[in-house]
Structure 1
């Protein structure tokens, strides 16, 4: 009887651990279509999974893909077709380099923190279709480098 109780306890603990790992992986991988929206003064903040962003970028060449990391990070690795405006320069450069406030803009950074900050900044100054696609570290598709090999 004692062995059965020990076996059942072990199975329960392993089951909980496996379930926890699976849930963590699903949330980490961004496999949901989007992570919801938050109303901001200028519009809605929305986070998109990489798969959704990639499909949209493949279907619509008018989407602006904005990298908000540093020049050095961009030179090291970036998503093809992206433009660079570092997040700390965004407020000074946005009106000139992103004149259409109704354009669809997908923003990314390294891990998703700066892209979220940049998305909120753009929404606050009147951009209406801003989407955070997270970090390049979670981007499973093609990337480019400006570094000499």
Structure 2
């Protein structure tokens, strides 16, 4: 059951309490499961300025316009990240509301020392 008790104080909009993985848990999920999508929800420019290896870029704006663009398989595991963690949680809310069942977030690239590629 999804707990929608958290509210964004700026907009008073309910957010899904998505499952936040540690970087180690995310690595484990990526290594041990085929087909996991690692998605950077930042802008195209931010993605080009450094992103986690193996990630693909779907900016939050695109996900907001059409969350079904991510995958036809609603059970495909999806790991989302952004700069600070807020946009990835918004994207997670959109995807869960669109019917995706395995949506995870990881802390933003600003909070962790991820190895970025350019």
TM-score category, normalised to shorter length: 0.7 to 0.9
More strand by share: 1
| Match status 1:116 vs 2:89 | yes
Give 5+ residue unaligned stretches, structure 2. 5-15
| TM-score, with length taken from structure 1 | 0.64
Q: Secondary structure at the match of 2:3?
A: strand
Give the match for residue 20 of structure 1.
none
- What is the CA-CA distance between 1:81 and the residue it aligns to? 1.1
1:1-149 to 2 correspondence within 5 Å? 38-39=2-3, 45-145=18-118
How many residue pairs get matched?
107
User: 2:114 and 2:37 mapped to 1: Cα distance?
Assistant: 17
More helix by share: 1
Give 5+ residue unaligned stretches, structure 1. 1-36
> Which entry has the higher C-alpha Rg, 1 or 2?
1
| TM-score, with length taken from structure 2 | 0.79
